[in-house]
Each structure stands twice: as C-alpha cells, then as structure tokens.
Amino acid sequence: MNVSPVNTPRGIDRRRLLQLGGALAATTSLAACSGSGSAGTGGAGDKNKGSLTVWSWQGPATALKALVPEFRRKHPGIEVTVEDIGNPAIWDKITTAMAAGGEGLADVLHIGVDYLPGYTEKFPEGLADLGELGAAKYRGAFAPGLWRTVSPTGSRVNALPWEANSAGFWYRADLFEKAGVDAGALATWDDVVEAGKKIKADTGTRLIGIDKPASQADAANFFQMLLQLQGAFYFNADGDITLDSPEAVRAMKIIKRMNDSGLVSDFSGGWNTMVSSLKKSTVAVQPMPTWFGGVIEREVPQQKGKWRVQLPPAVRPGGSRSATVNSTHLAVAGSSPHQAAAWTFVEYVLTRPASQARIYRDQAIAPALMKAYDDAAFHEPSAYFGGQKRGEVFLKALKAPSPSFTYSSDYARALKVVTDAQTRVLLKGADPAGALHDAADRLGKQTGRKVVR
C-alpha cells in the first residue's frame, strides 16, 4: 500500500496506464524475485582458515556463542560469528537466501527436522555434502534413527544431528500438590484431563496452553506430540497422507475435551505469550520437549523448586510414554566458500562429547551424540527441579525404541492444514474427525499425495 501518487489523473492516458503498470509490476516481481533452483557456488577452502557466519536461534545461539572462544583457541585461523536470527524467522531467511542462489546465506545453518527435507528437495545444491568433508565416520555416533534423517539415501550427508528432543511433561508440583493430584499416578492423558479439572477447581489454574487461532506455524505442537506418542504422524514412511488416522482423531478428541472443559489457556502470539504465561503461572503443565527445562530455568528463576518433569502419560492404557519428537541439525551452506572450515566448526560442536556437555550445562539442550551422555552433567541432580535428575529422565526416553517419522518436503503444508483444523475444533467447536478428514483431503489436493485411510 505504498504506491506514491505522481499526478492528478483525468482519464486513462498513457501516463496513467504506465503508473498502473508500475503497480502491477510490483506485484508480479514479488513472486519473480524468488527465482528457483540454487547454485552451489561455494568451495571447500582451507579447513583451518576462514571467516564463518553461523545462523541459529535463541538458546542454541547463546550456547554456540559461549563455545566460540575455546574453539578459537584450538583453531585460531577460523573466525566465527554466531547470529541469533530467531525462530521461526530463521526458516524464511534461509529460504529466501537459498532461492537467491545462496546470496547472503550464512556458512553454518541450524536446521530443524521439520525443514530439512523441504530444503534438500527444493534446493538440491543448497547444502554441502558433509560426507565429502568427512562426516561418514560418525554414522553410528548419534541417537537411533537420526542418521536416516540427515542422510535419507545413505550416500549424501545433508547435515549432522545436534539436538534429539524427547516428549516431556513439565508440571508445577506445587499446584499439583495443592489439588491433591499425584503426577506419578497419571497413566494416560484421560487421567490428565480429570486431574486438570481438579487443579482448575482447586487452584484456578488451567491445565495447558495452546495457540488456539494458530497465530504461529507451530500451534499444533501438542497435537503432534500426542500423535507421535502413538507412533503415528502426518505422513507414513511412503510419504502418503495419514493425518486423519484413528490415532490423529483420538489426539484431537483429547484436545477438544480439554478445551470444552475450560482447561486450555490461549497462547495466541506464540513464544512471548507462553513466556508471559510462565511468569504469571497461568498453566500447570507444559507438554514440551527436553529443551524446555532450560527455558523454564532461564525465564522464571523465581519459580525454583516448583517445577518437576516426567515422561508424558500414554495416550492409551499401556501405550508408549516416550517419543523423539524432533531433532535439529547443523548444516553447511552449499554456497559457502569456506566449507572445510565450516565443517571443522560443525565437527567441533557436534562430535566432541565435551562440547555437548558444556552446551547442556549452559542451555539444557539435549544432544543426539550418545557418547556425550557419559558426562556427569546428565546425571546430576538439578537444584531448580527439586533435586530431580532430569537428564536421566530424557536419556531413558532417548534409549527407548522410537519410530522415525517422515516429515517429507510438504511438512509446512501439512502443518498449515492441521493448525487450521485445530483452530476450527477449538474456536468453532468443529468435530475432530470431520475437521481432520477435510484437512487430509485438502493436503492431498495441494500436494498430489495419496490420502491413506
């Protein structure tokens, strides 16, 4: 809406048409500047020399920054600048830079499992093949299943795993106690709903928070976790759509029951709202993955001793209580002229147990590197969490068999139809089965993928 006026018009003459044309041009060139494809114009360079830029977000970015001085002592020839781009802003920034053929892209990129397949499919040269730089020897070093995520075909290595996040159940022990609820006795999410009603009645606090109008792309995190606990996902291993499976309907029904009972606080606005809610103690449970412990400790130090963590209850009696809900990775840009130096940095951060232990102490980010868990950091009682050994809680989950989930290159689209369906259920009282059925059909039409029922 910023087309500046030039003259007072009198009718359609050539000048007027030109102005109009200019406005049209602005529209069409928005799409065109995206271009397509991407050039892997970079090169390996010297593995001990170069100036690197690293893109990450919030906690992980802070952890990386803290690691840079000791890295520089070992590799004085490599300069490292860590930039905290923010999440979800980082995804758009990577996309546009890759679409521009790597123009303005950092050398090292922190990429989540949700975006990795999309980038590698749309921009085949966007990420450097770490296999060529020496990554193949770490094939067995990471949590089970993660190598398939970074190297789906087994030849090219697109990235190296950093975090392996397991589903968690962070709860306010003080509120649970006040309501007389024993968290350890909660076997299923049905039990949680009943407990939630009691907590609300006795303390006035709601059970959980959900971004009901889906103001952010990750508004369906909780739904997705309930799905993953059942070993199900939006796509099956063949990439077909399964988002209206019985498991999905069951998960959405749990959410609807919570909402209908007034147990769900609205987290619209995303991260900032969630943090405000932490500070104001408006919810009793945060069904968030491993990394969330670091966030609580950092954001609400005054609530020390009030929080505890355990693995989430099962969706069905006797069902699984652990799931690796997501992982993040470090990749090297295909356009980087310092790929070898970037690999030196990635290798230093991700494959040295000492680096990962330090990151864990610093930001409570759980590594995918299994050897790191030998460090005492993962077995110490945490004063903040009332002496709980929370590292061991999640290590148990990480060691349990967890199915691997196919995110596919259409994950962003799937997320959109899922969050829309969830919004309809939460704000308009839609029927979970019907809303998910429509969502699956819509996704099938958009992507050309088969809907399996």
Partner 1 sequence: MSAVLHKPSTVSEPLAAAGAKRGGPRGRLAPYLFILPALVLFAAFKLYPIGWSFVLSLHKTVGGVDTFVGGENYRRLVDDPLFWTALKNTAVVLAVQVPVMLALATGLAVALNSAILRGRSVFRLGFFLPMVTGLVAYGIMFSVLLHQEYGLVNWFLGLFGSDGIPWLTDPLWAKISIGFVLTWHYTGYNAVILLARLQTVPAELYDAAAVDGAGPWHSFRHVTLPGLRPALLLTTVLSTIGTLQLFDEPYILTGGGPDNATLTIGVYLYQTAFKYFDFGYASAIAYVLAVLIGLLGIVQFRVLGDRS
Q: Which residues contact partner 1 by CB under 8 A?
A: 1-3, 5, 8-12, 16, 20, 22-37, 91-92, 95-96, 99, 118, 121-124, 212-217, 265-266, 268-269, 273, 276, 409-410, 412-413, 416, 419-420, 423-424, 427-428, 442, 445-446
Q: Which is nearer to partner 1, 94 or 226 (CB)?
A: 94
Shortest distance in whole angstroms from residue 407 CB to partner 1: 14
Q: What residues form DSSP beta bridges with 367?
A: 163
Shortest distance in whole angstroms from residue 445 CB to partner 1: 8
Q: What residues form DSSP beta bridges with 327?
A: 164
Shortest distance in whole angstroms from residue 69 CB to partner 1: 34
Q: Which is nearer to partner 1, 20 or 354 (CB)?
A: 20
Q: Is the peptide bond before 88 cis (omega within 30 degrees of 0)?
A: yes
**Which DSSP string do the residues of 135-183 spell out, in sequence order?**
GGGGTTSBSTTHHHHH-TTSS----EEEEEEEP-EEEEHHHHHHTT--G
Amino acid at 438: D
What's the DSSP call for residue 283?
Answer: B
Q: Which is nearer to partner 1, 42 or 126 (CB)?
A: 126
CA distance linking residue 215 with residue 13, whole number of Å = 44
Backbone angles phi, psi at 322, to 5 degrees: -135, 145
Q: Are 15 and 7 in contact (CB under 8 A)?
A: yes
Q: Which is nearer to partner 1, 66 or 217 (CB)?
A: 217
Q: Which is nearer to partner 1, 213 or 386 (CB)?
A: 213
Q: Which is nearer to partner 1, 84 or 375 (CB)?
A: 84
Shortest distance in whole angstroms from residue 222 CB to partner 1: 17
Shortest distance in whole angstroms from residue 286 CB to partner 1: 17
Cα dihedral 105, 164, 234, 90, rounded to 10, equals -20
Q: Which helix (H) or strand (E) holds 94?
A: helix 89-99
Shortest distance in whole angstroms from residue 122 CB to partner 1: 4
What's the DSSP call for residue 107?
Answer: S
Shortest distance in whole angstroms from residue 213 CB to partner 1: 3
Q: Which is nearer to partner 1, 303 or 409 (CB)?
A: 409
- Quick one: tokens of 383? 């004063």
CA distance linking residue 225 with residue 134, whole number of Å = 34
